[in-house]
Structure 1
Amino acid sequence: MSTTTTTETYSTTDVENVVRRFAADLRMIADSSGTISGDEVAKYVHDVEMLAKKGYLKSVDVTLLNLGTEERAAKYTVDADAGGLVSSRPGNAMWPRLTFGTLRIIISYTAAYDADARETLSGKLRFSWTKSYDDTTHSSLSDDGGRNYTSGSYGLKRKDWTK
């Protein structure tokens, strides 16, 4: 028998504060690119927040595609020890409106998101997430900086890419 103890220095309110900044970005991206509706944004944000609060969220990759070609991307990576980061305001998320633009959102999970966790969350997420084999290195794009969103010691580090 073994015992494991973990200490979190952030609260669910911290997660909610950080996810609100992610939500502001996603709304700006969706509105400016015209790719997904406000209702869809709300569903994505719900799933991201639920997974983050349970400690299952590793990252969220958002990519604007035009006929399958990457045009812009942002990857939000969870930092559960973000006390040393300086928080930014949401922004720099006005993406172009493309004739054949689509938005791809890929969530990566922590190792804690096992079969039991999936069963616990079954029916509670707004989307039925499936395994993705898409390349999210964005090697065809150029680094375009990023931002940090933090509250307490919980944070999301956003890395941006553009053409």
Structure 2
Amino acid sequence: MPTDKKDLWDFGIIMFQLLALSHPFASESDEIMADLILKSEPVASMPILLSYKLRSTILSLLDKDPEKRPTTTELMDLPEVRRRRTEQLLQKMKIEDQLKNEKEKEIQQKKEQEQKEKERKLKSGLTRGPYYQLQFFCYFPNSFIINLRDPS
């Protein structure tokens, strides 16, 4: 059954491969690779462009002794990881604020449109609505029957 330390070793292998573009225990056969994994340090080297801290962290994940490997908590507490997590959190908050502001703006625009539509209907209602029909009825009483059949 995989343990936290085993998963961290796997993570170290993946990180090494991604950054060095080669397997840390590259060999010509699976048997030799298994022997290298059990008995030696990684044969491939990490790129010198990587920070010392990153290289040493990845190599510590590949330590043969599981007790010497860092825990997930220790990894998450690395200054680089904390800084990146903080940056991601701030970016997420910024995006959420932008979405909230856009939503509020949409709601405000919708309210303004509804208000304009209401005002337009109110203005048109004064010339064609019940008030107009009442005026029309006062001048032409027989048209009341027409207005009852066709209120428009």
* TM-score clears 0.5: no
1 or 2, which has the higher strand percentage?
Answer: 1
TM range (shorter): under 0.3
